[in-house]
Amino acid sequence: MEIYVHKTEIELTGVTDFDLGKTFECGQCFRWNKGEEGNGFAGNSEQTESRSSYLGIAFGRAARLRHCGESIFITGTIEDFESVWRSYFDLDRNYAEIRQSLCIDDFMKQAAVFGEGIRILRQDKWEALCSFIISQNNNIPRIKSIIDTLCREFGDVVHFEDQQLFAFPSAERLAALDALSLVGLRCGYRAEYIINAARKVADGILDLDTLANSTPETARFELKKVHGVGDKVADCVMLFGLHMLDSFPLDVWMKRAVVKHYGPDFDPNIFSPYAGIAQQYIFHFMRNER
């Protein structure tokens, strides 16, 4: 990967397996939105190819990403890139090599080819826990709407491109509230779960940083102590928040897929140590095939 610094953007070349649409729209995150890029990319005015871009916010930092030719451009300084985005997009991991290693049969070859470009984001651990509590029994547009309202009501303001965005509220901020304070989110029974989780994290009862360095068994056990966290939510938090890349979340679609292609005795360990990346290829493939 080569890095070039422009006036308002960082340009990345030589990055394999990084498709913005697939990465942001595969169900792992909820705060990146697609929009058409304008003419405000002064740092690279020689590029005239117009493509859609994605605007999002993570760790209290906003950025816009776009493809142009073989390059990916990220707004911000080199300091922003090195302190947040390099890790967030897992840019030092060779996903092309991992993808090839997961092609263990014809079905996975199809899924891996279709999912080429998906990267597992290193998301804020608390944000991932809260987001996937909200996600249960919900569709993606509604999940994004609830999270957007949560951030607007309780998150810090972040100014970006003459816009007013909002950071994800801290566990400490939400722990000071009660479920009635979240009525504007229209998240129903999940409000109690959100407050309960926030208090456990804020009080140190649930130490997400420690869990990220523990075993999958320990992490799942501790996460499931939180009201509203079952196996599927715990596995999503482990994969997308704790970055345990061997975690294999199973929802209805995934259960059908693995039973159909691998039988009722399916063991995700056949994809170890990157079962989570395999899961994303399968999930993306099955959802779009449908």
CATH of the domain at 178: 1.10.340.30
In a domain, 45, yes or no: yes
With respect to residue 252, please indicate whether it lies within any of the assigned structural domains.
Answer: no
Domain of residue 38 covers 2-92
Say if residues 48 and 185 touch (Cβ distance below 8 Å): no
Task: For tokens 């979240």, name the residue.
Answer: 182
Same domain, 190 and 144: yes
Q: What is the pLDDT of residue 212?
A: 97
* Residues 77 and 132 occupy one common structural domain: no
User: Are residue 185 and residue 227 in the same domain, yes or no?
Assistant: yes
Per-residue pLDDT, 288? 82
CA–CA separation, 58 and 167 (whole Å): 7
Q: Using 50, 70 and 90 to split pLDDT, how confident is the model at 51? A: low
Write a three-state SS string for 4-63. Answer: EECCCEEEEECCCCCCHHHHHCCCCCCCEEEEECCCCCHHHCCCCCCCEEEEEEECCEEE
Structural domain includes residue 179: yes
Average pLDDT over residues 51-67: 92
Query: Per-residue pLDDT for 35 more than 90?
Result: no
Task: Write down the mean pLDDT value for the chain.
Answer: 92
Q: Within a domain: residue 139?
A: yes
Confidence category of residue 42, pLDDT binned at 50, 70, 90 = very low
Specify if 280 maps to a domain.
Answer: no
Looking at residue 67, what is its pLDDT? Answer: 92
Question: Considering its fold, how many domains does the chain have in total?
Answer: 2
